[in-house]
Amino acid sequence: MQAFFARFLEKNYLEGLAAERGRFRAFLLASLKHFLSNDWDRSQAQKRGGNAEHLSLKWQDADDRFHIDPPAPENPECQFDREWALALLDRVITRLADECSRDGKACRFAQAKGFLTVGQDAIPYAQAAKQLGLEEGTLRVAVHRLRKRYRELLHDEIAQTLENPAQVDEELRSLLATLAG
C-alpha cells in the first residue's frame, strides 16, 4: 500500500481529476487495481524469479501471525468498499463523540454509544438503564437523540465525498449494502 501511495503522490495523479468524470472513490479503486496488476506482472517476470517460491525469513513468529491475520478477502473490491464504509462510520462516531464532549455530555455519550448500531428491538432498555444507573426513559431519549444526530452526521460525511448532493441517499444505500453483505 505504501508503494501505491508513494507512486500516486510522485506522479501527482490528483492533478487531472475532475468531478464530472466520476467519483473519487471509483478513481482511487481503479488506480489501486491497475497498480496491483502491474505490480503482479512485474513480480511474475522470469528475471525476478517469477516461478520460484518465496519463503519468509520470519519463520519464528509465523505461528502467531497466521492465527491473527484475517483470511484473504474473496473480492478485493468488496473489501475496499467495506474498509471505506468502516472508516466513514468511524469518522462519524468521532465527530459525534467530539460534539458530545464539547456540549458537556461526554459521560452520556459513553453510556449510550453502544446502542447506536444495534436494532431497537435488540436493546433491553430496562436492564441497560439499571446497569447504567439511569431511568429507562432517560436512556431511551438519550439513545434516540444520539441516533438522530448520528444519522445527520453520517449524511453530512457522505455529502462531503460527493460533488452532487442528490447522490447522498444512493451512496448511503450503497454503504449499507456493503456493510450488510
Q: How far is CA 73 from CA 70, 125, 135, 178, in A?
A: 8, 37, 44, 14
Q: How far is CA 117 from CA 5, 26, 181, in A?
A: 32, 27, 16
- What integer pLDDT is reported at residue 39 of this predicted model? 80
Q: In angstroms, how far is CA 43 from the centroid of its own chain?
A: 30
- Nearest by Cα to 138 from 116, 104, 111: 111
- Catalogue the long-range contacts made by 30-38 (C-beta closer than 8 Å, 24 or more residues apart): 31/4, 32/4, 32/80, 33/76, 33/77, 35/3, 35/4, 35/7, 35/8, 36/4, 36/76
Q: Residue 102: pLDDT above 90? A: yes
Q: What is the mean pLDDT of the chain?
A: 78
Q: What is the mean pLDDT of residues 52-80?
A: 60
| Count of all residues that appear for the chain in the document | 181
Q: Residue 99: pLDDT above 90? A: yes
Q: What is the DSSP string of 14-66?
A: GGG--GGG--HHHHHHHHHHHHHHHHHHHHHSGGGTTTSPP--S-GGGHHHHH
- Nearest by Cα to 73 from 83, 65, 59, 87: 83
Output the nine-digit C-alpha cell for 131.
446497569
Q: Mind listing the pLDDT tens digit for each residue in 17-53?
A: 777 777 778 878 888 888 888 887 777 666 655 555 5
Q: Which secondary-structure segment (H or E) carries 158?
A: helix 136-160
Q: Mind listing the pLDDT tens digit for each residue in 109-148?
A: 887 787 877 665 666 788 878 877 888 888 888 888 888 9
Q: Residue 162: pLDDT above 60? A: yes
Q: For the whole prediction, is pTM greater than 0.85?
A: no
Q: What is the mean pLDDT of residues 146-171?
A: 88
- What integer pLDDT is reported at residue 164 of this predicted model? 83
Of residues 152 and 52, more confidence is placed in: 152
- What integer pLDDT is reported at residue 55 of this predicted model? 52
